Amino acid sequence: MAKALIGHLNSDFRDPRLAVENARLRNRVAELESLVLRLSEENDRLMAAHTADLLTEPSQEMQPV
């Protein structure tokens, strides 16, 4: 098993195309992680603003009949 792991780890050195593809995929993953973080922060801001609007506006449901 150790030989399989070592061979797997060193495979990038044997084939430069794999190293390039691996680097490209790592960069893409980093881009996607940053996008997820940005969208999550934007979603949190929008939810906070929506909650504040709900608390400040009188709701039709709360009006006496």
Tokens of 48: 């906070």
Judge whether residue 18 has pLDDT over 80: yes
pTM, to two decimals: 0.60
Q: Where are the domains of the chain?
A: 2-48
Q: CA-CA distances (angstroms) from residue 46 to 18, 40, 41, 50, 59?
A: 42, 10, 9, 6, 19
Residue 14 or residue 29, greater confidence? 29
